[in-house]
Amino acid sequence: MYEPPPFREGERAVQHALIRAHPLGLLITAGPGGLMANPVPFLIETGPDGADRLRAHLARANPQWRELEAVAECLVAFQGPEAYVTPGWYATKRETGRVVPTWNYATVQVRGRPRVTDDPAWLGRQIADLTALQEAPRPEPWAVSDAPPDFVGAQVRGIVGVEIAVTQITGKWKMSQNRPEADRAGVVAGLQAAGIEAVAALVAARSRP
């Protein structure tokens, strides 16, 4: 990933937070079947050894799991908040006119060694953990145990698990850090007026010295 220094985000905790807030990653492989990409929800965790890993599951009918068995490395891209930035928000536009549109975004890319499993205990933990994470904010969370065991068992037989040992994780927060202070303030105000609060907050946070 192209990472100019002002936009580079190397803090592991910040990278993990984006993955947890936006867990639907794009799983990318380049195996015997050629380039392949599928959106897949992931969990990220750090083991006792301090190493990170991603966990997910795919439908057994999805051919990408066989691609994962055949490759030594895969890539997962996670997309965080993003927004178009119009030059009309820049003070520089009024001063010189020498401005162009851009796009602000936060993203994390993970490379790692994949392992495929159909172990029922692993799969049971995977779907329970993923469900619990997504259901936690709800007033009446649904749990896997709410469904009949035979139904859950049939569903589990229709999936395969994927565990990716992380070898590299990179983050990029492109949030107008390369613009003058007055331009950044204009971007924040413009995004807030457009109701794009998540990106506005990130631009404001990244504008601080």
The answer to the question of residue 200 being in a domain is no
φ, ψ of residue 27 in degrees (nearest 5): -85, 120
Q: For residue 112, what are the CA distances in angstroms to 89, 98, 166, 178?
A: 40, 42, 4, 31
DSSP secondary structure string for all residues of the chain: ----GGGEE--HHHHHHHHHHS-EEEEEEEETTEEEEEEEE-EEEE-TTS-EEEEEEEETT-THHHHHHH-S-EEEEEEEEEEEE-GGG-HHHHHT-----EEEEEEEEEEEEEEEE--HHHHHHHHHHHHHHHHTTSSS---GGGS-HHHHHHHHHTEEEEEEEEEEEEEEEESSTTS-HHHHHHHHHHHHHTT-HHHHHHHHHHT--
- pLDDT at residue 209 above 80? no
> Is residue 185 a part of any domain in this protein?
no
pLDDT at residue 126 in the model: 96
Domain CATH code at residue 154: 2.30.110.10
pLDDT over threshold 80, residue 45:
yes
* Domain assignment of residue 157, yes or no: yes
- pLDDT at position 104 over 70: yes
pLDDT in tens, 128-140: 999 999 999 999 9
The pLDDT of 41-52, averaged and rounded, is: 95
pLDDT tens digits, one per residue of 148-174: 999 999 999 999 999 999 999 999 999
Decide if 133 is inside a domain: yes
Residue 79 falls inside a structural domain = yes
Q: How many domains is the chain built from?
A: 1
Please tell me the predicted confidence (pLDDT) of residue 93.
Answer: 87
Residue 146 lies in a domain: yes
Classify residue 161: in a domain, yes or no. yes
Give a yes or no: residue 97 inside a domain.
no
Domain, as residue range, for 107: 5-84+103-178
Q: What is the pTM of this model?
A: 0.94
